[in-house]
A and B are shown apart, each in its own frame.
Chain A
Amino acid sequence: MALLKVERLVKDFDGLRANDHISFQVETGELVGIIGPNGAGKTTLFNCISGHYPVTSGRIIFDGKDITGLKAFEVARMGLARTFQVYAASGDLTVLENIMVGCFLRTRSPRSARIRAKEIARLLYLEEVSDSLVSELPVALQKRVSLGTALGTEPKLLLLDEVAAGLNPAEIDEMMTLIQRIHHNFDITVLLIEHVMKLVMNISQRVIVLDSGRKIAEGDPRSIAHDPNVIRAYLGERYARFLPKGESSGP
């Protein structure tokens, strides 16, 4: 069953069309990646799905319900969590407290929120720093905290906006393992935006490519890597013509 269904989604900012009739769906249990050059409309798409932006037209169906036009907190309560590209976690709170804020969506009691947050911290290897302030941690750990906070809300679908940005190769590997772990162990469907190809191509079961607000390709990572439209979007027309003829047709 499709957990998330986006139908002909359009988002305009004054004169600029950031998302142009984007349609796709994510099945329950899938791990899907979204890639595209800068300014392709990936984060805008996330903001529309999570309720942070009102959409211009189109529909978003989540878990069988139409969530178009719902506010961000209402969408979150239905089981759709997200992380943010720039922002990691609240610097004034400790790691554990940050995760607790997520957990408070499902419990009123500080004690049970704390217990739940500790479990999540353990799963994300954050135990040793759980009493440190987030602002004192390196970026890689901050990103992990933001993952934990989102997990605290017990989501069915997790949207990850560039969780690997700014990480070194070793940290990217760690993040990759963590995402797969969340996907398998928690049984959470994952939709992620990523520029780090190593991560997207390795763990995504399916990849969606956006360019200038449109969906230009969709498929398994291998076929996407050879799609002429995708190569053109990333490298430009000038370089795409150097492609070997046999590879450009795709499967």
Chain B
Amino acid sequence: MEALRNALDFSDFPRTDLYVVAVAALFLLVFPLFPHSSFAMATMIQFLMFSIYGMGWNTIGGYGGQVDLGKAQYVGIGAYTTAVMLVRWDIPFWISMPIGMAVAVCWSFVLGYPLFRLRGHYFAIATIATSLVLKDLFEVWDFVGAARGLEISPIHYDPPDFLRLIFKEDIYYYYIILGFFFLGILFVNGFRKSRLGYQLRAIKDNEDVAASLGINVHWAKIKTYAIATAFVSLVGSFHACYIKNIEPEDTMSLHISILIALMAMLGGAGSLWGPIIGAAVLIPLKSYLKEWLGAHAGLIGIDLVMYGTIIMLVSAVEPRGIWGLMERIRGRRRG
């Protein structure tokens, strides 16, 4: 009960912020009702997906300060669980998604136990390594289609298949991911005010002090890592139904891991709105750069240059990202 009330309570933000949030939420709700290009729609869905990835990353990476660069492996676990179950046994999304989540969370416990014996940069490097190993395994595993990947060929598009999440029009995908997006915000809003949320922020600040307050630092990190994993795996499952053709390269590559972390850091790690702001800036920019500068002007790899620049700017100008910058300008330091 108390947790639910905390999740629905945004009263620690100033009223002006809440107006902006309300307008943004309204815009997201009505966006598909207005004329739009399919490019815009695809970008919006990408934005929502990466916002949720970022929210998940933000629990362990932002509030907990553990820079995790291996989230893509859990995108892969979610996506592959849903795809394999659908293709081989015709199991619908609403069953395969929680199973994928459970598999991913179990895997996160197996990895988290040794990984969180490491601190700082060593932890970050180890997360990259584990993610790359999993991707390489999937590339040679025939059961999941190896490097060719898996294709979900729809049995029928009409009527819209809400069980398997197979739709012809993107608008259905849009509203489903939007629902997850709102739920994600509520969850993180509750999380940051929960016991674990506060303990995690103490851990981020000083692990020895946290331990002296009776916090099992190692276990608190593992638990939060599992929460982050659940977020990522859910969107991974959605990704499988939405894209309908998954390969290790576009679900589990280092590129995705970095993008997830980068988005949260750019928007503001350790703040509720940070990852959303980050995704809102980065995803349209990325799509645009890829589409125009990459494909048309032949500047392939321009998006990578941009990521590097962003990392440098964030660490030099404001480590708490765009949200931190806004807070500083307003003379506030909360959120």
Mark A residues whose CB is within 8 Å of B. Answer: 50-52, 71-73, 76-77, 81-82, 84, 87, 90-93, 97-98, 100-102, 104-105, 107-111, 113, 133, 149-150, 152-153
User: When chains A and B are docked, how far (Å) is the Cα of A198 from the Cα of B206?
Assistant: 31
A236 → chain B closest CB, angstroms: 34
User: When chains A and B are docked, how far (Å) is the Cα of A77 from the Cα of B206?
Assistant: 18
Cβ of A111: which chain B residues have Cβ within 8 Å of it? Answer: 2
**Contact: A91 with B205, CB < 8 Å?**
yes
Q: Does B202 contact A (CB under 8 A)?
A: yes
A137 → chain B closest CB, angstroms: 13
**Contact: A109 with B202, CB < 8 Å?**
no
Which partner residue on chain A sits nearest B63 by CB separation? A92
Cβ of B316: which chain A residues have Cβ within 8 Å of it? Answer: none
**Contact: A110 with B6, CB < 8 Å?**
yes
- Extra contacts, 10 of them, besides A97-B198, A133-B333 (Cβ < 8 A), are A73-B217, A76-B213, A87-B206, A93-B201, A101-B201, A101-B215, A104-B199, A109-B2, A113-B198, A150-B213
**Contact: B202 with A108, CB < 8 Å?**
no
**Contact: A72 with B202, CB < 8 Å?**
no
Q: Does B245 contact A (CB under 8 A)?
A: no
**Contact: B217 with A52, CB < 8 Å?**
no
**Contact: B198 with A149, CB < 8 Å?**
no
Mark B residues whose CB is within 8 Å of A. Answer: 2, 6, 193-195, 198-199, 201-202, 204-206, 208-217, 270, 333-334
**Contact: B201 with A92, CB < 8 Å?**
yes
**Contact: A77 with B201, CB < 8 Å?**
no
**Contact: A101 with B206, CB < 8 Å?**
no
Query: Once A and B bind, how many residue pairs between them come within 8 Å at the CB atom?
Result: 85
Once A87-B206, A109-B2 are accepted as A-B contacts, the answer to whether A72 and B199 lie under 8 Å apart by CB is no
**Contact: B211 with A76, CB < 8 Å?**
yes
- Partner of B201 from the list A72, A84, A90, A102 (CB cut-off 8 Å) is A90
User: When chains A and B are docked, how far (Å) is the Cα of A111 from the Cα of B213?
Assistant: 18
User: When chains A and B are docked, how far (Å) is the Cα of A101 from the Cα of B270?
Assistant: 17
Which 3 A-B residue pairings sit nearest by Cβ, starting from the closest?
Answer: A76-B214, A72-B211, A105-B214
**Contact: B214 with A92, CB < 8 Å?**
no
**Contact: A110 with B194, CB < 8 Å?**
yes
Cβ of A108: which chain B residues have Cβ within 8 Å of it? Answer: 195
Cβ of B213: which chain A residues have Cβ within 8 Å of it? Answer: 73, 76, 81, 101-102, 104-105, 149-150, 152-153
Which partner residue on chain B sits nearest A52 by CB separation? B208
User: When chains A and B are docked, how far (Å) is the Cα of A117 from the Cα of B6?
Assistant: 18
**Contact: A110 with B193, CB < 8 Å?**
yes
Q: Which of A73, A93, A108 has the most CB of B within 10 A?
A: A73
Cβ of A104: which chain B residues have Cβ within 8 Å of it? Answer: 195, 198-199, 213, 215
